[in-house]
Amino acid sequence: MSNVKETAVELRGISKYFSGTVANDKIDLEVKRGEVLALLGENGAGKTTLMRILYGMYRADEGEILIDGKPVTINSPYDAMNLGIGMIHQHFTLVPVHTVVENVMLGLDGPYDPGAVAEEIRTLGRRYGLEVDPYATVRLLPVGMQQRVEILKALIRKACILIMDEPTAVLTPQETDRLFDFVREFRSGGNSVVFITHKLNEVMNIADRITVLRAGRTVGSIPKVEASESALARMMVGRDLELTTGQPAKNVGEVVLDVDNIGVISSRGHRVIDGLSFQIRQGEILGIAGVSGNGQEELAEVLCGLRNAEEGDIRVSGKSIVNCAPLAIIAEGVGYIPSDRQSEGLVLDMTVAENLMLKGSSDPEFTKGRFLDMAAIEENASRQVHEFDIKTPSVSTRTKALSGGNQQKVVVAREIAIASKLLVAVQPTRGLDLGATDYVHRVLLRERDKGKAVLLISTELSEIMNLSDRIGVIYRGSLLRVFTRENADIGEIGLLMTGIRGESNE
């Protein structure tokens, strides 16, 4: 019996340069028929770039592409589709105001009968467990459904090589399971999947073979049966890495944060937070799980004075801070790590030292009479750079010159200095590599153990499960339930994330 599979795609010596960056450096990669290849690597490793080259969105500066053993030129996604290649992007490319059928038909060759396309959508949906209403408006569909539409678009174009770029980032655990079912079903028909991810557990679950990229190069390619999570982590980061798991809180004290029945209306008049209440005590981390867009950002903004509440109260150590100005809330010892560090957390044109004191320019520690005390500012910065291991040529380097991980460390360092009572962290590890992610996790646990209250808001469920002492699930601006660490059940949390309540259904 031969289990040698035919090669569907071969990339040979692919290089791609962006100004100042070598995104892909002579990468070799092979995808076989009937195989799920996981393309694994940290953020910035070059995965998306490589697959955009295969999909005709970028031109390689060097190297060649072979499909079924024959050299090909792929100048556009149109060329790629004609060769049987489909790609599901990290950020969907659907037209939100159009229906599913209209979206699927966009760019199809020749005149098509919408009714026939709708029928095909239904047939393929049933065949692959990707059911979706062909006449639904895309904007009104949950993200998991929108992803199905993207996949159906590729299937209708007869893709036999499907590239999926971090497809589970927007899914609940149940939706992820369904997606994996689809991937297996699709593979069983002799098709190929390139599954891009930086999550080791997904690789072990779905891949037949794994190719690891690091800093634009191929580190290696191994069959799943020979792989382990720790070996893959080592390939990804280039050294051994012991990942932190949080120990339960030991000394839980007084209530620090008391959110009491708040309601928030968005600028477009929608109720984005609705009767939300919870408390966090000293020395504990409350994690908020949820699919993105269910009020998480708004909740953080209200807590930090960046948005007003229409109803309810927010108290920090008994003192009401609701609708107070951001600086007044900072003065109460509330630190805030925003999800978008580049636009909200940092002034990229300012130096590391300036960013580290940003909110403290009226602080007596940084002023001498009417003037800023530059010596004190630089001394403070040097101390923090050292303590948080921020890799920067100097404290007077502009922050935009730092890597994403080091920029995030600047934000974390400053906000922890502010957060004498409460730290609000929203997606604190988004876009960070494994090493920096682990570092931020350790810092959150350390601050908790020092007696601070921590609110961790994240769509990364593994992060929530790993660090939180209690876990709340947010859906459409309300907390559906708060679990303790011991009774947190990932299946139930996943259902709640989609708004489905368990047996205690009202």
Ligand X SMILES: Nc1ncnc2c1ncn2[C@@H]1O[C@H](COP(=O)(O)OP(=O)(O)O)[C@@H](O)[C@H]1O
Interface positions with ligand X (CB under 6 A): 18, 21, 23, 41, 43-49
Nearest to ligand X of 51, 426 (CB atom): 51
- Least CB distance to ligand X at residue 394 (A): 23
Question: Cα separation of 503 and 495, whole Å?
Answer: 12
Instruction: Provide CB contacts within 8 A for 57, sequence distance 6+.
Output: 76, 77
Nearest-5° Cα angle at 199, 198 to 201? 150
- Least CB distance to Mg ion at residue 45 (A): 8
Nearest to ligand X of 93, 123 (CB atom): 93
Question: Cα separation of 9 and 426, whole Å?
Answer: 39
- Least CB distance to ligand X at residue 67 (A): 21
Would you give the DSSP letter of residue 33?
T
Nearest to ligand X of 16, 421 (CB atom): 16
- Least CB distance to ligand X at residue 64 (A): 19
What, of ligand X, Mg ion, none, does residue 41 touch, CB below 5 to 8 Å by kind?
Answer: ligand X
Instruction: Provide CB contacts within 8 A for 493, sequence distance 6+.
Output: 173, 289, 461, 471, 473, 483
What, of Mg ion, ligand X, none, does residue 45 touch, CB below 5 to 8 Å by kind?
Answer: ligand X
Q: Where in 130-268 does DSSP place strands (E)?
A: 161-165, 192-197, 209-214, 217-223, 255-265
- Least CB distance to Mg ion at residue 53 (A): 13
- Least CB distance to ligand X at residue 43 (A): 4
* CA neighbor of 207 nearest in space, from 199, 195, 198: 195
Nearest to Mg ion of 198, 307 (CB atom): 198
Please identify which residue in the block is written with the tokens 């692919």. Answer: 14
Nearest to ligand X of 36, 163 (CB atom): 163
What, of Mg ion, ligand X, none, does residue 78 touch, CB below 5 to 8 Å by kind?
Answer: none
What, of ligand X, Mg ion, none, does residue 339 touch, CB below 5 to 8 Å by kind?
Answer: none
Nearest to ligand X of 27, 464 (CB atom): 27
What, of ligand X, Mg ion, none, does residue 18 touch, CB below 5 to 8 Å by kind?
Answer: ligand X
Binding site for Mg ion (CB under 5 A): 48
DSSP string, 41-67: --TTSSHHHHHHHHTTSS--SEEEEEE
Identify the bridge partners of residue 422 per DSSP, sorted by sequence position: 334, 453
Question: Cα separation of 162 and 81, whole Å?
Answer: 10
What, of Mg ion, ligand X, none, does residue 27 touch, CB below 5 to 8 Å by kind?
Answer: none
